[in-house]
Structure 1
Amino acid sequence: MPIFDRYILRQVFPPLAFTLLIALLVLLVERMLRVLDSVLGSQGTMQVVFELLAYLVPHYLGLALPMALFLGIYFAFRRLSRESEMDAILASGTGLHQLMRPVMLAAVLLSLFAVLIFNTLQPHSRYAYRSVLSSVQNMSIEALIQPGVFVSSDNTTLMVEEISPDRRQFRRIFMHEEDKQADEAATITAREGILTESEDDSPPFVQLFNGVRLTTPVEPGKVEGARELESGSERSDGLLRFNEMQTVLGEDAYDAVQPRGEDEREYTIPELWTLKDNPPEGLERSRLLAEMNERLVRIASILVLPFMAVPLALSNRRSQRSSGVAVGVITLLAFNEALQQGVRMVRREQVEPLLGAWGPLLIFLLGSVLLFMDVAFRVPRYQGIGIVDRTTTFVGNLIERRRKRREAS
C-alpha cells in the first residue's frame, strides 16, 4: 500500500472510532433510562439491564456508523487542508481522485461490517432483547411477593403471610382474581400453597390446599371456575370449599415469548427475500419488501459518504469557519428522513421500493458525485465550493453587521 494511503487511513480512523464510541454512549445512556424503568420496576437486576443494553448495541451501531464515517473523513481531510499538507500531496503529482483510494477502502470495509450488522446482528439481537424483557416482565408478580404485603399484576391481587426461603412455599394466602371476559370475580383464601413452574411457555401456577373460593358473578346464576384441579371439594351457590386447587398466577399479565419472526425486523435479509412471496401470518408482503430494501439502501449509502465528505472538508480552506460539517450533517439527516418517509410509503403500498427506498439514495449519490467532481477536476474552484462559501460568508457578514449595530447603539 502506498505511503500516502497508509497516512490518510491513519488520519481517518481515530476520529471515526472516537465519533462512533461517543455516539454509542450517548444513544445507550438515553435508552438506559427506559430500560432501568422497565427492569427495576419488575424487580430485575442490574445484570439484566446491562444484558439488554448489549442487545441494543447493534441497533445503535447501524444508526451511528454513517455519521462516524462522514466525520472521520471530514476531520482527516480538513486537517490536511488547514495545515497545507494537502498542497504538498497535490504538488507531488498525486490527484485528489487518487487520495480517494484509501478512503473508499475504508468505506468498503465498513459497508461489509454494515452487512453483518443489518443482516445478522440486528435481527437476532432484537429478538434476544424482546425475549429477555418479556421474561423479566412475566416474572414480576413472583418477584414482588413479600410477606404481609398486597401485590397486584393486572387482574390478580395476592397477599401471603409467610414465605419459605426458596420463595416456593406459602402459608395463609389471600388471592383476588377478576375475569373481565366472564364478568366475574373470585376471592380465594387458603392455608398453604406451592408455586410451580410450567414445563412449557405457560405462566407459573399455584397449588393451593385447604381453602375457600368465593365467586361473585355480575350476571345472576353465572358461575364459571378458573383453571382448577379440585380434590374433595364442596360447592354451594358460588362458594367452593376445597382441599386442593390449582390456579394460574397472573395469567393475563403473562405473555409467552414467541419464536423469532414476530415482525419483519427480526428476519435476516435472505429470509426477507425468501418470505416476500409467501409472507407469514400477520405480516404483509409490502412490509417485508420495505424492510429488506431499507437495509440494503443503508448499506449502500456508506459507499457514497466519501464523495460528500472530502469536498466539504476542502471547501473554504482559508476560513476558520467549518461550514462543511454543518452542511454534511444536515444532508445526512435529510437523507435519513427522506428514506424513512419513502419506506413508510412502501409499507402502505403507495409507491414501489425502487422509488420509495432507492430514490433518495440515487439523489444522494448524484449530488455527492457532482460535488466531488467539482472539487477534484476544476482547479480554479478548488479554493472553495461556490454556493457553500457564498452562503456561509453572507450569513457570517450579516451577523457581524448586526453585532456592530447593537454595539454602536
Structure 2
Amino acid sequence: MAPHGRRVRPSGAAGASVASMPLIERYILRRVATVFVVTLTALVGTVWITQVLRELDLVTAKGQTIWLFFVVTLLALPSILQIVAPIAFMVAVVVALRSLNGDSELAVIAASGASGKAVNRPVLVLATIVFLAVALLHHVVSPAGLGALRVLITKVRADIIATVIKDGGFRSVASGLTIHIREKMPDGSFRGVFVSDDRSPDESIQYTAEQGLLLENAAGAFLVMKDGYVIRENRTARSNNVVQFDTYAFDLNQLTGSTTVPFYKPRERTTLYLLSPDPDDSYLQRFPERMTAELHDRMTAPLYTFAFALIALAFLGRARTVRQDSNLAVAAVVALSLALRGAGFAVVGAASGSAAALALMYVVPLAGILFGALALFGRARLRTPDALQNMMDAAGGVVDRISDRVLPPQAGSP
C-alpha cells in the first residue's frame, strides 16, 4: 500500500480537493462513488422505462415517429434524475459503509489511529458534488427540458396531419372522434374514408366517403370528402337522417384548439421566472401557491443529500462488531431517510394549496441535517437498545432450537 501521506498533483481546482486526500479517503470516495453510479443508473433506467411505456401513445395512437418518441422521453430524463439522485446517493453510502464494516476495514481504520474524518470527509465531499448536481438539475436543466417537452407536445397535438393521414386502422384523434382511412394514394389523396363523431351527447354523426383529401389554407385544416353519405342519429328524438353529398369539408381546426402557444406549468418555468412571474400569467392567477411552492421546492430538495449523508454516517460511520446491530443500523438509516423524503413530498403537496406550509419545506430537510450532525459530530454512538438486542438474541435462539428439531443432522456432525 502506498504511504499514507502520498499526494497526487492536482490537475485543476476540482481535482485539488480530491487529490489532497490521504489514500484511505480516496479509496472510500471511490467505493461510494462507484456504488452511486451503479445505483443511479439502475434506478433511472427503471423509472425511464415507465416513462417510455407512458409515451408509447405518441407512436401507437398519434402516428408519430419513433425518433420523436425517444426525444420526448429523453427530455423528461432530467426531472427523473433530480428526484432519484439523492435516493441513489443514500443507497450508495449505506451499501459502501456496510461493506467496509463487513470486511473489517472500518475497524482497521479505527485501530490505525485515524480519526472519523477519514470516513466522514470522502462521503461529505461526494455529498457536496451530488448536492450541486441536483441543484443544477432543479434550477436549470430540468426546467429547460420540461419546457422544451411542453413545446414539442403542443406541436404534436396540433399536428392533425400526422394523426389522420395514416392509412389502416381506426384512430381516435379526440374524445368521441374516430377517423379511418382505408388507403392513402401516391398523390396524397385518400380512398375509403370513415369518420365517427360522438362528441355530442344528443347526436351521433357518421361520415362515409369514397375519396378524401386533406386541405390546408389560411382558414385552417379541413378533411374534404367526396361522394359519400352523412348519417345523423338524433338520440333525443330517436330518429335517423341520411344525406348524400358530392363534397363535404370536415373542420379539423376544432381539434387543434384555438392556439398552438404552449401553456407552461410551474415545473416548466425557469427559476428566474418564478422569482418574478408575469402578473398576467393565467396559471399564476389561478394557482399562486403552486408557483411559490415550486420555487421553494427547488431551494430545499437538494438539501436532502446532506441529510442522507449525515444520517448514514451517524449510524454506519463507525465499526460495529455485532451483526444484528449492523443490520438494524442499516434499517434505521433507510427508514429514517425514506420517512424524511416522504415527509418532504407531503409538505410540498401541502404548500401547493396553502402558503402556511412553506416554512415546513425548510424545516424537514434542515431537521434531518441537524439530527445527523448532532449524532455524528456530537460523538453520540447510535446503537441498538439493550432490550431490543436481547429480544433479537432470544428470537435467534428459538429459531436455532426449532431448526435443530426439524432439520435432520448433517452427516459427520457430532
Query: Taking structure 2 as the reference length, what is the TM-score of the superposition?
Result: 0.76
For 1:359, the equivalent position in structure 2 comes to 363
1:262 aligns with 2:281: no
Deviations 1:36-64 (A, max 9, x none): 35643444454444333322321221222
List alignment gaps of at least 5 residues for structure 2: 1-19, 407-414
Q: What secondary structure sits across from 2:281 in the alignment? A: coil
For 1:400, the equivalent position in structure 2 comes to 396
- Please tell me the root mean square deviation across aligned C-alpha atoms, in Å: 3.6
For 2:322, the equivalent position in structure 1 comes to 319
Contact in 2 for aligned 1:39/1:136 (Cα 8 Å): no
1:2 shift after superposition: 2.7
1:281 shift after superposition: 0.7
What is the total number of aligned residue pairs between the two structures?
375
Contact in 1 for aligned 2:154/2:261 (Cα 8 Å): no
CA distance in 2, matches of 1:86, 1:176: 71
Which residue identity lines up with residue 395 of structure 2 in the other structure? I
1:360 shift after superposition: 1.0
1:22 aligns with 2:42: yes
Instruction: Pick from 345, 350, 353 the counterpart of residue 345 of structure 1.
Output: 350
Alpha-carbon spacing, 1:176–1:32, altered in 2? closer, same or farther (3 Å): closer
Identity level (%): 22
CA distance in 2, matches of 1:199, 1:109: 54
1:347 shift after superposition: 1.7
Q: What secondary structure sits across from 2:130 in the alignment? A: helix
CA distance in 1, matches of 2:165, 2:333: 50
Query: Taking structure 1 as the reference length, what is the TM-score of the superposition?
Result: 0.76
Contact in 2 for aligned 1:186/1:216 (Cα 8 Å): yes
1:304 shift after superposition: 2.8
Give matches, 1:202-281, under 5 Å: 204-209=221-226, 213=230, 239=243, 241-242=245-246, 244-249=247-252, 251-252=254-255, 254=256, 259-260=261-262, 262-275=264-277, 278=279, 280-281=281-282
For 1:142, the equivalent position in structure 2 comes to 164
Q: What secondary structure sits across from 2:356 in the alignment? A: coil
Which residue identity lines up with residue 72 of structure 1 in the other structure? A
Q: What secondary structure sits across from 2:56 in the alignment? A: helix
1:330 shift after superposition: 1.2
1:306 aligns with 2:312: no
Bigger shift: residues 343-352 or 28-37: 28-37
For 2:92, the equivalent position in structure 1 comes to 72
1:404 shift after superposition: 4.1
Contact in 2 for aligned 1:190/1:209 (Cα 8 Å): yes
Contact in 1 for aligned 2:212/2:223 (Cα 8 Å): yes
Contact in 1 for aligned 2:106/2:319 (Cα 8 Å): no
List alignment gaps of at least 5 residues for structure 1: 221-236
